[in-house]
Amino acid sequence: MVSSSEKVEMQNINSPGHVVRVDKRKYEAMKTALLAVMPNAEPGLTVAELKQQLLPLLPEDLFPGGDKAGWWLKGVQLDLEAKAIIVRENTKPLRLHLNGGS
């Protein structure tokens, strides 16, 4: 079991080299949910569409009523972009999908 104090490093594609240490359980739960709903190809989904689809997949004990899910979604999204696991389309609103080339 992972203790509540165990941390993982989260990157940000918008701030190369900047790393934030965050709760590992929440990070892993959000990453798992995000990757489960992330489409494989263009046109992808908007952040709002992703959030709507992943909320039911989040553990209630970590995200009671979806609390703080938006912050975690954005953080994990930027981390996975920095790691080239997901990519953004140059659209408004922003659309995301898995990186088929990784």
pLDDT of 102: 47
pLDDT of 98: 98
Residue 81's alpha-carbon distances to 15, 41, 58, 64, in angstroms, are: 11, 15, 21, 26
Phi, psi of 101 (to 5 degrees): -90, 0
Two tokens, residue 52: 């709507």
Average pLDDT per block of 10 residues along the chain, 102 residues long: 77 94 98 98 96 98 96 98 96 95 54
CATH hierarchy code of domain 7-98: 1.10.10
pTM for the model stands at: 0.92
Q: Are 89 and 96 in contact (CB under 8 A)?
A: yes
Question: In this structure, which long-range contacts are made by residues 59-64, counting pairs with CB atoms below 8 Å and at least 24 apart in sequence?
Answer: 59/29, 62/25, 62/26, 62/29, 63/26, 63/29
pLDDT of 74: 97
